[in-house]
Amino acid sequence: MSAASETALDQGSVAQRMSDIREAARGVSEGFSRQYMRECIDNHRFPQEAWDALGDYGLLGITIPEALGGVGGGQVELVALMEALSETGMVLPMLLLTGFARVPILRNGTPDQIDRFVKPTISGAEKLCFAITEPDAGTNSFAMTSLATQAGDGYRLTGRKVFISGAADADRMLVVARTQKASEVERRTEGMSLFVVDTDAPGVELQPLNIDVGWPERQYLVFFDDVELDADRLIGQPGQGLAAMFEALNSERLLVTAMSVGLGNYALKKAVAYANERKPFGKPIGSYQAVQHRLAEAKAELEAARLMMIQAAATFDAGGKAGDHANMAKLLGSRAAVKAVEAALQTHGGYGFDKDYDVITLWPSARLMEVAPVNNEMLLNYIGEHVLGLPKSY
């Protein structure tokens, strides 16, 4: 019974890798104010200028080997980037989506698929989104019914996905669909495959949902109506999509943790500045322990999640078993972010609810991360079952 981490953390080199990226990220974030992000968020406009700047700095090439035109590095660098941007209030879910959707293509795709679907994302010219959730299946992805049937050399895709973030901003979508119905396989985990689908392909329809979580990207209900897919749109082996996705999910968990920790620290920074200034009784409210301890607790919890995130990212990069710590980091990070935003709200008193103070505006995106991309109950289920060895609870 242990949280598996097969790789000892070389703290010096990991710290160096992170600080190099943080330095480069500063070059981008200093050019784009939180006001710019707020305008993008309020108008659901993709922050293309910031995205282009990330591409210009080479930061969108992180995790892509230099031989393929990227800048190398791994999850450590990618989480460092996500964290560094988020802690300035630059919320970029597309970085998470494109960043982790590339993992299964890089690991399972052919050289030609990597050329076509991954390489254009390095400069920022193309973006990827990810579609697994279905209206009826929800958390239970194995119950998905979207079906890609063999048609000539290729496939024909029919079905529906929901909550797909950034579908209208992205060029392509990594779709998990069944190539065998659940009723045709021995175990429900079998028969799922990964496809790269162009978001403007004939038969793909995007319907925006009325969701506002403080992100620039909207969420969409996506319909696939007999979408024709050439054989080379299948990533890896048919029916083996789940295993390929599981490799990518650890990356997703870590990026969500980075976003949570960054956002939590952004909220704390604002709260500390306010607590040092605001003096309704003559002394700064930050001198009262009731205010100070709330902020200090949130900081300690953000830091705990951060350390676990770094540990898991280094393990992932070294090819070790990162799942336990990646799941725990996401659980702790999302909770710590909510705690930090709550503390910042309380510190700001009534002004916390004034959108111009940009505190209440942080709450939906922090709170969302307790629900998506995987709800925290599922992470507790994972820890109960796979780390503690308890019976499956659902």
State in angstroms the smallest separation of the CB of 376 from ligand FAD: 8
Pick between residue 274 and residue 382 the one whose CB is nearest to ligand FAD.
382
State in angstroms the smallest separation of the CB of 181 from ligand FAD: 20
State in angstroms the smallest separation of the CB of 377 from ligand FAD: 3
Pick between residue 133 and residue 179 the one whose CB is nearest to ligand FAD.
133
State in angstroms the smallest separation of the CB of 162 from ligand FAD: 7
For the chain, the three-class secondary structure string (H helix, E strand, C coil) is: CCCCCCCCCCHHHHHHHHHHHHHHHHHHHCCCCHHHHHHHHHCCCCCHHHHHHHHHCCHHHECCCHHHCCCECCHHHHHHHHHHHHCCCCCCHHHHHHHHHHHHHHHHCCHHHHHHHHHHHHCCCCCEEEECCCCCCCCCHHHCCCEEEEECCEEEEEEEEEEEECCCCCCEEEEEEECCCHHHCCCCCCCEEEEEEECCCCCEEEEECCCCCCCCCCEEEEEEEEEEECHHHEECCCCEHHHHHHHHHHHHHHHHHHHHHHHHHHHHHHHHHHHHHCCCCCCCHHHCHHHHHHHHHHHHHHHHHHHHHHHHHHHHHCCCCCHHHHHHHHHHHHHHHHHHHHHHHHHHHHHHHCHHHCCHHHHHHHHHCCCCCCCHHHHHHHHHHHHCCCCCCC
Pick between residue 73 and residue 333 the one whose CB is nearest to ligand FAD.
333
Residue whose CB is nearest to ligand FAD in the complex, by number: 138
The one-letter amino acid code at 153 reads D
Pick between residue 176 and residue 275 the one whose CB is nearest to ligand FAD.
176
Residues that bind ligand FAD in the complex, under the rule CB under 6 A: 129-133, 138-139, 163-165, 211, 213, 219, 368, 371-375, 377-378, 381, 394
State in angstroms the smallest separation of the CB of 94 from ligand FAD: 10
State in angstroms the smallest separation of the CB of 347 from ligand FAD: 26
Pick between residue 269 and residue 367 the one whose CB is nearest to ligand FAD.
367
The one-letter amino acid code at 320 reads G
State in angstroms the smallest separation of the CB of 137 from ligand FAD: 7
Pick between residue 27 and residue 138 the one whose CB is nearest to ligand FAD.
138
Pick between residue 345 and residue 368 the one whose CB is nearest to ligand FAD.
368
State in angstroms the smallest separation of the CB of 136 from ligand FAD: 9
Pick between residue 163 and residue 274 the one whose CB is nearest to ligand FAD.
163
Both structure tokens of 273: 């500045």
